[in-house]
Amino acid sequence: MSPSLIAPVVEEENKKYQRGVKHLCDKGLTKVPTKYIWPEQDRPIFTKPDKLIKPKQNLKLPIIDFAELLGPNRPQVLRTITEACETYGFFQVVNHGMEGDVSRNMIEVCKRFFELPYEERSKYMTSDMSAPVRYGTSFNQSKDNVFCWRDFLKLFAHPLPDYLPYWPSSPSDFRSLAATYAKETKELFEMMVKAILESLEIDGNEDEAAKELEEGSQLVVVNCYPPCPEPELTLGMPPHSDYGFLTLLLQDDVEGLQILYRDEWVTVDPIPGSFVVNVGDHLEIFSNGRYKSVLHRVLVNSIKPRISVASLHSFPLTSVVKPSPHLIDERNPPQYMETDFATFLQYVSSREPKWKNFLESRKIHRIR
Ligand code: OGA
Ligand code: NI
């Protein structure tokens, strides 16, 4: 069948699963429905007739001590950031100054949101990618051929006063706790940007992009991964890179995040109270490919529910993203085309976002 004939069939079938995995699990489930079963080569553990390839040991990401970054050891910490962004596209931040209560309260109130009756949660379900609040399931629930074991709540968060009135009013303390979290994460992002620009030897005080980032966009994505009866058949999130400049990810104490490192999927060891920070597509473009947005995915498990909160930060929605003029010269020509959010949003809503195909579409291929 041609894609144009398949699409309506998929869309019709997807309607059956729109209520998400939390809803499925609440009904009691001993098997994963076919819709969630990934092709064998994409599953977390490959079981071949004669061998079982065990998952690799967990990965200890480079750790950035934020207090050190602000002290006399800054140059050394900046070098660690550079290395981490070039090698892994990821690092973990500890001692970041956000009170433990702020992050714990955020995880806890999000847990309570996902425990609300489906009717309450579904008030925020929409296919409009630019809605201030969007509740949903999988990745792109109208287009995905195979579904992910994940429900989500996405909140636009900057400028906060524009969006806050649309955020869920239940649980009653959701808005205040999530707003505190969003504001403090934004502050942390701004300090991270200063460090990242400095590590690229760009003067943040003079750079136009640095100013734009201060007034940039922030999208808080809350991910809920309920326990799954057959976790080896599915994924919480498929391999993807994040589209923004930087993502600050808060996880609870349950592991699940994997990154692609030297062509192998490795699990990131959660450090309670820390942030996992990763390079997004926009930073890859901005750094003209020096820092890489690395593919990552999420595994689920059969025992513990998992909550994570990803805060995606980037330029304002109206900006054009391009390689920094400070990093471009005759010997270093631009490697990426200019791109904007509108193009991106159109791209992700029109197909299954998989791998890094959006970024690939922005690359300039030169014949040398
Ligand atoms: C994301 C993401 C990882 C996780 O939200 O983009 O990659 O551990 N989340 O939930
Ligand atoms: Ni991600």
What is the rounded average pLDDT of the residues 8-27?
83
Range of the domain at 59: 9-362
* Amino acid in the structure at residue 186: K
- Residue 3 in domain: no
- Judged by DSSP in three states, 255 sits in coil
Task: Show Cβ contacts of residue 61 under 8 Å, excluding neighbours closer than 6 positions.
Answer: 84, 88, 90, 91, 92, 268, 269, 276
- Give this prediction's pTM: 0.92
Write the residue with the smallest CA distance to atom 9 of ligand 1. Answer: 310
Ligand with smallest separation from the Cα of 280: 2
User: 223 pLDDT exceeds 50?
Assistant: yes
From 110, 137, 296, 304, the mutation candidate for ligand 1 (largest count of ligand atoms within 8 A of CB) is 296
38-55 residue pLDDT tens: 999 899 874 444 444 555
The number of residues making up the chain comes to 368
Report the CATH number that the domain containing residue 302 is assigned in CATH.
2.60.120.330
- Residue 40 in domain: yes
What is the structure's pLDDT at 50? Answer: 45
Identify the weakest region by mean pLDDT among 3-17, 169-183, 299-313.
3-17
User: 66 pLDDT exceeds 70?
Assistant: yes
What is the structure's pLDDT at 46? Answer: 47
User: 345 pLDDT exceeds 80?
Assistant: no
- Residue 83 in domain: yes
- Burial (Cβ within 10 Å: 0-12, 13-18, ≥19) of residue 330: exposed
- Judged by DSSP in three states, 64 sits in strand
Per the CB < 8 A criterion, the answer to whether 130 and 341 are in contact is no
- Residue 2 in domain: no
What is the structure's pLDDT at 169? Answer: 96
24-34 residue pLDDT tens: 988 888 999 99
- Residue 367 in domain: no
- Residue 368 in domain: no
- Residue 108 in domain: yes
- Judged by DSSP in three states, 20 sits in helix
- Which sign does the torsion angle of CA 357, 361, 363, 364 carry? positive
Number of structural domains (the chain) is 1
From 106, 255, 257, the mutation candidate for ligand 1 (largest count of ligand atoms within 8 A of CB) is 257
- Residue 211 in domain: yes
Q: Is the CB of 279 under 6 A from ligand 1?
A: no
